[in-house]
Structure 1
Amino acid sequence: MALTKWAVDPTHSSVDFSIKHMMISKVKGTFTSFDALIEADPQDLTTANISFTVDLASVNTNNADRDNHLRSADFFDVENQPQLTFVAKSIRKTGDGEYNVTGDLTLHGVTRLETFAVTFEGEGKDPWGNEKVGFSANGSLKRSDYGLTWNAALETGGFLVGDDVKVSIELQAVKQA
């Protein structure tokens, strides 16, 4: 099957993350502005062309002070590094509708290979006849690998902000003409 172009349906998609706070709990957040370029046969992603862009200024953790701190030079430095990008380099099928998607992730001026576990969730037509597909992606990255090293030592030992960031993406896309 030929590759088909798909456009992200942002009202039915999300880019979420979580990170340990004070070594005892997790803080969750989301990015409200993102897009992807997808050319794929949804039944076989191994030949797909996938690139993803996240507007880092759109971070939302339900706390304005924390969100502003994340946008600052201590973390994302959105003034100088406004986007996170991911470009798939290899896609390996690991099971029925299951893939490992490896590519160049660029954040804070650093590019590294990262792998996400991607699941094809299905396809169907919406009430208006538009063809839609759904995917889930999960992975983790170390923020220190990208130069995001701001932290504060805790009186009890350890650090305020964890290094491992869990990433979860739910993506619905609509077939383009």
Structure 2
Amino acid sequence: MSLTRRCAASVALAALPLALASAAAGAAPPQRYGLDPVHTRVMFAVSHAGFSQALGTVSGARGSLLFDRDDWRSAKLEVSVPLTRLDLGDAKWNAATLAAHLLDGKRHPLARFVSETVEPLPGEGENPSDRARVCGALSLRGVTRPLCMDVQLNGYKRHPLPPFRHTAGFSASARLSRAEFGIDAWKSVIGDEVELRIEAEAVRNRYLDTGPSDDSEPIADDALPPSPSDETPDPSTRAATPDPEPRR
């Protein structure tokens, strides 16, 4: 090897550690975000005796997200949802849904999801993927089962309103069997498959100092209906059902 080539090789070897260090410095770690409880909401839909899909929402979710748009696989999500803030649009139905034979909101006021794997889905052309399959463990009513969600990144930028914090916005969907979580009452009235839709906004370095909590009104014992058999009438129609006509 000539002297010129040996000098070039030496320079290249000497520069290698600097190049590796520069690359490592350029690979920024995932940023930490907190879920905005006002702009994060879970919607659920479940069959009502085959006539319609009963729709409800739960607000006030809290949690943390580690996220780097260029590295979905490094993302980690932990979220708690206060079930006692459930709203089906009717106070009696809310109470019935939170009763011991269904969600048992008095003993299990929170649902919790912790991600385990995040797999990006293919993007279009040369554009990076804004979709991913997020799988993890859902704890509901004292039972933990696997759950996967299809997630769409809607926006990843500074918010246009003060204080202009960097915000990531997502839409997600999933399906679960309520029976797998021990929620199997009223089989003739309530379907087993529950469809979930989640809209979430996560703000960088905000909403991280408040842990998951249920800040709604406590559930009084006399506010919940008794455990039913499978033949128990639909609670929304019980009061409206007329007495049978007297025999003539």
In 2, the alpha carbon distance for the partners of 1:55 and 1:12 equals: 14
Could you tell me whether the CA contact under 8 Å between 1:42 and 1:133 is conserved in 2?
Answer: no
* Correspondence 1:79-94 to 2 at 5 A: 79-94=106-121
Q: What letter is aligned with 1:132?
A: T
In 2, the alpha carbon distance for the partners of 1:171 and 1:150 equals: 30
2:18 paired residue number:
none
Could you tell me whether the CA contact under 8 Å between 1:31 and 1:59 is conserved in 2?
Answer: yes
Q: What letter is aligned with 1:172?
A: E
Q: What letter is aligned with 1:104?
A: A
Q: Look up the SS of the partner of 2:72 in the other structure.
A: strand
1:61 maps to which of 71, 78, 88: 88
1:3 maps to which of 25, 30, 37: 30
Q: Which runs of 5+ in 2 are unaligned?
A: 1-27, 123-128, 207-248
In 2, the alpha carbon distance for the partners of 1:131 and 1:44 equals: 17
TM-score of the superposition, structure 2-length normalised?
0.66
Could you tell me whether the CA contact under 8 Å between 2:136 and 2:146 is conserved in 1?
Answer: yes
Looking at CA atoms only, which structure, 1 or 2, has the larger radius of gyration?
Answer: 2
How many percent of aligned residue pairs carry the same amino acid?
26
2:143 paired residue number:
110
Q: What letter is aligned with 1:110?
A: V
Q: Compare 141-150 and 88-97 and name the one that shifted more.
A: 88-97
Kindly tell me the number of residue pairs found equivalent between the two proteins: 171
- 1:137 is the counterpart of 2:172: yes
In 2, the alpha carbon distance for the partners of 1:166 and 1:146 equals: 14
2:131 paired residue number:
98
Q: What letter is aligned with 2:142?
A: G
1:156 paired residue number:
none
In 2, the alpha carbon distance for the partners of 1:42 and 1:9 equals: 19
Which structure has greater helix proportion? Answer: 2
1:173 maps to which of 196, 202, 209: 202
Q: What CA deviation, in whole Å up to 9, does each residue of 1:139-177 have, x standing for no partner?
A: 01000000000115xxxxxx2110000000011111117
Could you tell me whether the CA contact under 8 Å between 2:41 and 2:60 is conserved in 1?
Answer: no
1:149 paired residue number:
184
| Cα offset, 1:77, TM superposition | 0.7
Structure 1 ranges of 4+ moved more than 4 A:
none
Q: What letter is aligned with 2:190?
A: V
TM-score of the superposition, structure 1-length normalised?
0.92
| Cα offset, 1:89, TM superposition | 0.6
In 2, the alpha carbon distance for the partners of 1:116 and 1:63 equals: 28
Q: What CA deviation, in whole Å up to 9, does each residue of 1:122-152 have, x standing for no partner?
A: 2122222211111111001000000000115
1:31 maps to which of 35, 48, 58: 58
Could you tell me whether the CA contact under 8 Å between 1:43 and 1:97 is conserved in 2?
Answer: no
In 1, the alpha carbon distance for the partners of 2:196 and 2:117 equals: 19
Q: Which runs of 5+ in 1 are unaligned?
A: 153-158
